[in-house]
Amino acid sequence: MAIIRLVKKAQKGDDKAFIKLFQRYEEDIYRMAYVYVKNESDALDVVQEVAYRSFKNIETLKNPEYFKTWLIKITITYSIDLVRRNNKVVQLKPEYDVYTGSIDEDIPLSITLQQLIEQLNEEEKSIVLLKFYEGYSFKEIAELIDIPLGTAKSILYRALSKLRKQFKGVDVGE
């Protein structure tokens, strides 16, 4: 109930209410962004952009009880956009990584699991992460990414099947 009140205050222009709300979910936004962008700097950029976009558009949120869901949707959308934009950038040769520093300092998932999840397409990855990483129900996932409930279930089961097949092919003792 406190969240709904804060959202309504924020929608009326109360900056402090918005800051309280955003800070409550900032860590969740960062973790979700990190899974997509795979580095701390870009994940922090995503958090900043989500803060800006959500602050600018909070009056468009129709159901205050879905504030977190709305933030996660913005996070996923912007993270995917950022990854696509970064894929158009020419990367340095791997031997130059020594000079630029390619060490990931913050790894929220185990390396093997993260590598497996990266093999999924964006839609499958989103559904797996929302279901198991964020704890959303199928109904919430379907609403969040704007697909039918049955489709969300089918995509999840297809993704889990892919993950099982990939896991069997991975040397777990690495």
Q: Are residues 1 and 85 part of one domain?
A: yes
Q: Count how many domains the chain has.
A: 2
Per-residue pLDDT, averaged over 73-99, amounts to 71
Q: Are residues 143 and 174 part of one domain?
A: yes
Per-residue pLDDT, averaged over 109-120, amounts to 69
Whether the predicted model's global pTM rises above the 0.85 cut: no
What average pLDDT is seen over the chain?
A: 82
Label residues 129-155 b or e (16+ Cβ within 10 Å = b). bbbeebebeeebbbbbbeeeeeebeeb
Q: Cβ(152)–Cβ(136) under 8 Å?
A: no
Higher pLDDT, 30 or 144: 30
Candidate from 61-75, 140-154, 155-169 with smallest mean pLDDT:
155-169
Q: Cβ(141)–Cβ(149) under 8 Å?
A: no
Q: 159: left (phi > 0), else alpha (psi -120 to 50), else beta? A: alpha
Q: Are residues 73 and 39 part of one domain?
A: yes
Structural domain for 72, as ranges: 1-90
pLDDT score recorded for residue 112: 65
Higher pLDDT, 7 or 133: 7
